[in-house]
Amino acid sequence: MILKSWLAHGRLKEHRTSPQEINDLLVLADRDLGDCRISGLSSDRRLNIAYNAALQASRAALAAAGFRTSGESHHYLVVQSLAHTINASPDILQLLDQFRKKRNMGEYDRVGVASDQEVEEMIALALKIRHEVEEWLRAAHPGLLKQ
């Protein structure tokens, strides 16, 4: 399992999660799914918020699997971990990684990198990931979901 390999190489740490932590991460994702729709924000900012929604849901899956990131490239690792937690398709991983790179450009390098269409695509992707994480949690870790 690749997650155990990442653990052995210090890219992940073992982590014991709780229903409260999982709930908090999913609530953060839900908050961001609402906030990314606020009119008046730039497309770059909205893309960043929608990306964060997907990231928080992905972190919930990684925590449920018993891990958290350690050190550098934590966004990349969280994104890639979806293949080994919720069994996300390569298409989802590739698209989310493209948005990760675009988000980084808009956050650190320049303004105007995200179009409104890309924002809508990222919102749809974040919703899909949020839904798939919850479904996976229900099937694989039902005790971690608050009732």
- Cβ atoms < 10 Å from Cβ of 28: 17
Could you list the pLDDT tens digit for every one of the 147 residues in the chain?
799 998 999 999 999 999 999 999 999 999 999 999 999 999 999 999 999 999 999 999 999 999 999 877 889 999 999 999 999 999 999 999 999 999 988 888 999 999 999 999 999 999 999 999 999 999 999 999 986
**What one-character-per-residue DSSP string does 117-129 give?**
HHHHHHHHHHHHH
Asked if residues 122 and 29 have their Cβ atoms less than 8 Å apart, the reply is no
Q: What was the pLDDT predicted at 107?
A: 85
Q: What was the pLDDT predicted at 89?
A: 96
pTM of the model: 0.95
Q: What was the pLDDT predicted at 144?
A: 97
Measured distance CA(22)–CA(123) in Å, rounded: 21
The CATH architecture annotation of domain 16-142 reads: Up-down Bundle (1.20)
In the chain, where the domains are located? 16-142
- Give the side-chain half-sphere CA count within 13 A for 49: 18
